[in-house]
Structure 1
Amino acid sequence: MTREPGVLPRPGAQGTSFDDATAVAPRRTEESVFDAVLDGGWAVGAGINGGLVAAVVARALSAELGRSGHRDPLALSAYFLSPCRPGPATVRTETVRAGRGLSTGAAVLSQPGEDGAAVERLRVLASYGDLGALTDEVRTTATPPPMPGPDECVPADQAPATFLDRAPVIRRLDLRLDPATVGWAVGQPSGVGTIRGWFRLPDRREPDPLLLVFAADALPPTPFDLGIFGWVPTVELTVHVRARPVAGWLRVSHTTRNLAGGFLEEDAEIWDEAGRLVAQSRQLARAPGAAHTYTPPA
């Protein structure tokens, strides 16, 4: 189930679908301004999942830059200025440059603060194009990470209730985690800093570039596999979309190699069922601190 290009779902629509959660509506009185409603059911820790919010902005930029024929995000960098809360949001977009093969856009997502004044939550700079117009040439040494099939992996929604209460977004996904990377859930983290799994949506909505932006930040945080538990707020997230995925499961791998000074990097690779590397990402995030730490799931 995939929407036609250019068709925007209605913000705040009833239901739990990804399209409802990332819906934007053009504001009639202001050009290049979109209204959205952030659903608390997609929260993790103290705010809305960062990948979900980035996908909201990516949808608004798709509408903005689509006027130049460029609807697909190819490179998107998002800086998270403050946690997004459930409720209304505004996305202001700008066409920085409209070219033949690529267009560049910028966007700011804001929400009303306690005094009613707009509070910036997210700033984005992105390049858009047409994935269907790319060449078929592929030269890569990258290979999909080995892991059991989806039916042999661990459904994330079977996590303890205490974990799901802190990350209700998990209930909105069909996420099957590689058993080799879920030792942290039973008090036996591997110490490697890797979490892998199969990803799709429960309503079987087929993957597309917007879903890849979300999937880049959808797995449990890699510090869990290091035995460090708590909220891991994203500082900056960059997503590269390399190809339009085929229908079916996405194979997602997140890895951290360097946690130092209270920050960590998290690299992600996303593969489709055809074995194609369809997206890559890197984010800088804050390591869990004492104010956010909780007891590991048991």
Structure 2
Amino acid sequence: MAPLGKAIGVNYSGPPNADTKTFRGDIDPEWTVGNVPNGGYVLALVLEACILHQASTPHRDPIHVSAHFLQATSIAPFEVRVRTLRRGRGFTNVLADLVQQDRTRITAHLIFGSLEPPRLVPPSSYARRLPLYVHPSAAAATPMARPWRFKEHIKWAGDPHLRAQNAPDSPTRTTATTIGGGGLVWGAWFALTGRDERVTPASIAFLADTFLNLPSLLPRSERGGLVSGETWFPTMTLSIEFKAPIPPPSARHAARTVGLYSTGTFWGEPQGRHDAYVEIWTAPSELGEGKERGGWREEQFCLATATQMALSLPMEVNAGRAKYDAPKAEAKAKL
């Protein structure tokens, strides 16, 4: 049972010059959704292994990761097998597979390079601005109605101004004469609760998978019988683009708090398949701490964006997946 910084732990095992490097570790039983490890947390393990793989090269920074979740992972030992596909002048392409019980559970293609501060920033009128309304020092913490076992390690404050845009009577709702539009939005200040915690490149993968999605935000009349707390939303694909380096803690940027903003537009079959777009932003202070000062919005920038395809399944499927894997893990541990 460890905070996120320690739970994202991998160890290299094998000769240093091997074509495929193997990193090993144990999935922490607390970082789960129900009985299945959170997809973003598990991808963070893959990303951490690849960061270690690239640590002694000129291309140390993750630029992009595209992951396919082939099968749900389990609370058991794992291996991440990493190999370099191509080294170029500006970028290195890396392939990584997370393996459990001799099965590839996640396969990922990553691009590494040298991450630089963004160019298109305020005061440019073309720059994307921070999409949250309230300063984190004044934001009211909101409950997490999700089957997350890691709740004690995190907290968030949902943005009421964004949530109001999803109301049935909101002017953002569409009509027969509307062109485009639609979908739902969500945003929050999100914090790791451990005082020694820090947002890291690997933890970005977890942050990109921690939000309220379209099925959860819909009014009950639009959900078709779906109950959010009784539904599992397993990730099928998750892609992340890293936009800027994580700034060091300062009076302008928090160490363990970020801004999250997400949108979802489409929901359908098969199996309640839906999309999500997520932005991860720097924060001017820790959640519930600090003091609002002039110009704080102009100093924040986007760290990463992510897109995801996920499903909507009953929680019974989640529980069944864990039961299916447990006997195999126990048998292998006895060998």
| TM-score of the superposed pair, with normalisation by structure 1 | 0.79
2:207 corresponds in structure 1 to 215
Q: 1:168 to 1:180 in 2, by over 3 A?
A: farther
Are positions 1:141 and 2:151 aligned together? no
Displacement, 1:181? 5.8
Cα distance, 1:220–1:171 mapped onto 2, change above 3 Å: farther
What is residue 11 of structure 1 aligned with on the other side? none
Residue 66 of structure 1 is matched in structure 2 by 55
CA distance in 2, matches of 1:34, 1:292: 29
1:283 aligns with 2:312: no
**Which of the pair has more CA radius of gyration?**
2
Describe how 1:58-207 pairs up with structure 2 within 5 A.
Answer: 58-112=47-101, 118-131=102-115, 134=116, 137-138=119-120, 140-156=126-142, 158-159=143-144, 163=145, 166-180=147-161, 193-204=184-195, 205-207=197-199
Aligned residues: 264
Identity of aligned residues (%): 24
1:223 deviates by 1.8
Deviation readout 1:107-166 (Å, 9 max, x if unpaired):
000112xxxxx12210000001122xx36522643221132233444435x44xxx45x2
RMSD (Å) for aligned C-alpha atoms: 2.8
Query: How big is the shift at 1:174?
Result: 2.8
Does the C-alpha gap of structure 1 residues 18 and 289 become closer, same or farther in structure 2, counting only changes over 3 Å?
A: closer
C-alpha displacement at 1:287, in angstroms? 2.7
| C-alpha contact (below 8 Å) 2:117/2:244 kept by paired residues | no
With CA pairs under 8 Å and 6+ residues apart, which has the higher RCO, 1 or 2?
A: 2
Give the match for residue 28 of structure 1.
14
What 5-or-longer segments of structure 1 have no aligned partner? 1-14, 113-117, 294-298
1:74-103 Cα deviation digits (max 9, x unpaired): 100010011111121110001111222211
1:226 aligned partner, one-letter code: L
Which runs of at least 4 in structure 1 moved beyond 4 Å after TM superposition? 180-183, 289-293
Residue aligned with 1:59, SS:
helix
Is 80-89 or 212-221 further displaced after alignment?
A: 212-221
Partner residue, 2:217: 225
Distance in 1, Cα, partners of 2:154 & 2:163 = 17
Specify every segment of 5 or more residues in structure 2 that has no aligned partner in the other structure, as ranges.
174-182, 284-298, 319-335
Aligned partners of 2:198 and 2:134: how far apart in 1?
21
Secondary structure of the corresponding residue to residue 56 of structure 2: helix
Which residue, out of 274, 277, 280, partners 1:264?
274
1:266-292 CA deviation, whole Å, 9 max, x = no partner? 000111133211110100111345856
Is the CA contact (8 Å cut-off) linking 1:259 and 1:287 kept in structure 2? no
User: What amino acid sits opposite 2:63 in the alignment?
Assistant: L
- Please list the CA deviations of residues 147-206 of structure 1 after superposition, one character each: whole Å capped at 9, or x if unmatched: 2233444435x44xxx45x211232213222235668xxxx9x99532211122112423
Preserved contact between residue 26 and residue 35 of structure 1 (Cα < 8 Å): yes
SS of equivalent residue, structure 2 residue 277: strand
What residue is the counterpart of 2:262 in the other structure? Answer: 254
Partner Cα distance (1:136, 1:152) in 2: 28
| Structure 1 counterpart SS, 2:96 | strand
8 Å CA contact 1:242–1:279 kept in 2: the answer is yes
Structure 1: distance between partners of 2:315 and 2:32: 20
The residue matched to 1:168 in structure 2 has which SS?
Answer: coil
CA distance in 2, matches of 1:172, 1:75: 27
Secondary structure, aligned partner of 1:212: helix
How far, CA to CA, are the matches of 1:111 and 1:223 in structure 2? Answer: 30
Question: Contact between 2:132 and 2:187, CA under 8 Å: does it hold in 1?
Answer: no
Distance 2:315 2:52 in 1: 41
Per-residue deviation, residues 248-267 of structure 1 (Å, max 9, x unmatched)? 13110111011122211100
1:237 equivalent in structure 2: 238
- Quote the residue 1:8 is aligned against: none
Cα distance between partner residues in 2 of 1:128 and 1:53? 19
